[in-house]
Amino acid sequence: MQGHLTAIHIAAIYAQAGQKRLGNYVTNTPFTDLLNKIQTYQARAGVIGLGYVGLPLAITLAKSGFNVTGFDVDPAKIRALDAGNSYIEAVSSDDLTRESSSGRFHSSDDFSQLAFCDVIVICVPTPLTKHRDPDLSYVEATSRSIAATLRSGQLIVLESTTYPGTTDGIVKTILEKTGLKSGRDFFLGFSPEREDPGNRDFDTSSIPKIVAGDGVEAGELMQGFYGQAVKTVVPVSSNATAEAVKLTENIFRAVNIALVNELKTVYAAMGIDIWEVIEAAKTKPFGYMPFYPGPGLGGHCIPIDPFYLTWKSREYDLPTRFIELAGEINSAMPRYVVGKLAEALDIRSGKALSRSRVLIIGLAYKKNVPDIRESPSLRLMEIIHERGGAADYHDPYVAEIPSTREYMALKGRKSVDLTKETVESYDAVLISTDHDSVDYTLLAASSPLIIDTRNIFTKRGLMADHIVKS
């Protein structure tokens, strides 16, 4: 309740400040000019980075009435968009074509066009280095590209997930090297992305949007801009607070998933089914929220975002033991699963993993999407290979493994067809991602051994001795 009242209070402060300022201004200023453009949809928006976050945002802005230019350094994306072909499930090719034909959306790799954009939103990757330190090279490079054409009267927004202080520290510092000042000449804000690939219940326009700005005027512009395209805007007091909101959301999930992953290993040793425990526990109407175990964490957010805070906390000489322990537990899950696989092969067929062929079902990090970022399936394949086994995969959404930074040896591997003969040729099937379109009845009937990390067979009533939960 207190946080809700705080948001309302902040909104009221912004509104009062805006009325007073607009009433007192005699001549136009960068703030009043830009606010008027936003309110009348005359502001041109630029979205940098046309991936899972940027492209849905760009099309949502275009649908609302803004003219939008989407920027990306990948010429293949630009060619696809120019041809009317969407490569993001959340954006249909029909919607893309409609907004392109209307003239409200076009894509470009010419970053000099940023000069013509009144609002520029940064949606670029923020990965970790191999030492789990933040890699802000994409944010920094993009900020320098914006600085090259920065002019008075622009609103610059960072949406990429990062640690508190990035927007006002790194982005602002780079932009102010031009001699222009935040809050006087240009305006700076942060609004964390909240995309959930594969979730058809929410889209960019219906997910509540956290917004903040560097100063009251920047905050007003942020509310005005996103309020034109998103149903619910939630203002907070500072960019650092907004950055912390995003980290908190994903740390919450990472820690709770680590808890059930640890409980899985303990209960398995006791002969207790963690899935049955969770199903019973979630009948409690208060004080409990179900989280589910799995073969490891995937996606860009949950495996990565918590470590942005652990890195930043070192500056304050404060430990983040919960977060780091959660990371250790979740990172250990792929090796635990392969251990259960090796044990089951030995017990049920007397065959060592080093002499076995394994078919992994699902390469994507979550079901019903083609996104393989940080997917535990890649790690599972790597560990099986390390132990001398052979691993292939089947995924109806991922035809071929693309180039990745950590798993270059797997590049070019292709999804195998799921037929009775194919399944029978493998010593075991390992369920890593429970896509709805997979024929689990075929798997249950044709595979001599199944390792199920998602409880999908029990959910479908397909229970047998050769199906082992892990």
Among the ranges given (23-32, 127-136, 222-231, 344-353), the one the predictor scored with the smallest mean pLDDT = 23-32
Q: Domain check: are 346 and 434 in the same one?
A: yes
Number of domains in the chain: 2
Kindly state the DSSP code that residue 353 receives in the 8-state scheme: G
Q: Which amino acid appears at position 70 of this protein?
A: G
Q: Are 282 and 290 in contact (CB under 8 A)?
A: yes
- Mean pLDDT score of the chain, rounded to an integer? 91
Indicate whether 250 belongs to any domain: no
Same-domain pairing of 54 and 120: yes
- Please state, in angstroms and rounded to a whole number, the distance separating the CA atoms of residues 142 and 155: 15
> Across the beta sheet with 209-213, what order do the strands follow?
105-108, 67-71, 44-48, 119-122, 155-158, 187-190, 209-213, 233-235
Residue 144 within a domain: yes
- What does the pLDDT look like over 203-236, one tens digit per residue? 999 999 999 999 999 999 999 999 999 999 999 9
**pLDDT (0 to 100) of residue 3:** 36
Q: What are the DSSP calls for 288-335, one per residue?
A: -------S---SSSTTTHHHHHHHHHGGGT---HHHHHHHHHHHHHHH
Q: Which residues, in sequence order, are bridge partners of residue 105?
A: 68
Q: State the helix-helix crossing angle for 216-227 and 2-24, rounded to 10 degrees.
A: 100
According to the model, what pLDDT value does residue 180 have?
98
**Residue 268 tokens, joined:** 């398995």
pLDDT of 134 > 50? The answer is yes
**186 & 83 share domain:** yes
- 299 touches 366 (CB < 8 A): yes
State the catalytic residue, choosing from 212, 254, 301, 309: 301
Nearest to 239 by CA among 175, 152, 159: 159
**CATH code of 222's domain:** 3.40.50.720
Residues 235 and 277 in one domain: no
Q: Are 354 and 396 in contact (CB under 8 A)?
A: no
For residues 450-454, average pLDDT: 98
How far is the C-alpha of 269 from the C-alpha of 271, rounded, in Å? 6
Mean pLDDT for 320-330 is 91
pLDDT for residue 14: 39
Torsions phi, psi for 198 (to 5 deg): 90, -10
Sign for the CA dihedral angle at 8, 9, 15, 19 comes to positive
Taking only the tens place, the pLDDT of each residue in 33-62 is: 999 999 999 999 999 999 999 999 999 999
441 within some domain: yes
Report the range of poorest mean pLDDT among 17-21, 24-28, 234-238: 17-21
* Spatial distance between the Cα atoms of 169 and 97, rounded to a whole number of angstroms: 38
Question: 283 phi and psi, to 5 degrees?
Answer: -75, -15
Max CA separation in the chain (angstroms): 86
Name the pLDDT band for 19 (thresholds 50, 70, 90): very low
Residue 186 lies in a domain: yes
Domain membership of residue 262 (yes or no) is: no
**Pair (464, 377) in one structural domain:** yes
Average pLDDT over residues 388-404: 95
Considering the domain architecture, whether residues 302 and 409 belong to the same structural domain is answered as yes
Report the DSSP pairing between strands 209-213 and 187-190.
Answer: antiparallel
Give tens-digit pLDDT for 167-206.
999 999 999 999 999 999 999 999 999 988 778 888 999 9
Predicted confidence at residue 8, as pLDDT, reads 39
3-state DSSP assignment of residue 266: helix
Domain that holds residue 198: 2-239
- Give the pLDDT mean for 119-142: 92
> 43, 21, 1: which is closest to 222 by C-alpha?
43
Tell me, rounded to whole angstroms, the distance of Cα 448 from its chain centroid: 36
User: pLDDT confidence of 17, banded at 50, 70, 90?
Assistant: very low
Q: pLDDT band at 10, cuts 50/70/90?
A: very low
224, 31, 13, 176 alpha-carbon torsion, rounded to 10°: 100
| pLDDT in the model for residue 302 | 73
Query: Where would I find the beta strands (DSSP E) of 332-438?
Result: 357-361, 390-394, 428-431
Sorting pLDDT into bands at 50, 70 and 90, what band is 15? very low
- Decide if 251 is inside a domain: no
pLDDT score of 22 more than 60: no
Per-residue pLDDT, 11: 41
**Could you tell me if 232 and 97 lie in one domain?**
yes
Torsion (CA) 415, 421, 424, 425 in degrees, nearest 10: -60
- Examine the domain organization and report whether 125 and 182 are in the same domain: yes
Res 4: pLDDT: 36
Whether 263 is in a domain gets the answer: no
End-of-domain residue from the set 199, 223, 239: 239
Q: Are residues 341 and 398 in the same domain?
A: yes
The question of whether 123 is a catalytic residue gets the answer: no
Q: What is the pLDDT of residue 67?
A: 97
| Listed residues 239, 257, 280: the one ending a domain | 239
- Looking at the fold, whether 15 and 158 belong to one and the same domain comes out as yes
Are 322 and 422 members of one domain? yes
Query: How confident is residue 421, by pLDDT bands cut at 50, 70 and 90?
Result: very high
Q: Are residues 147 and 275 in the same domain?
A: no
> In the prediction, which pLDDT does 1 show?
31
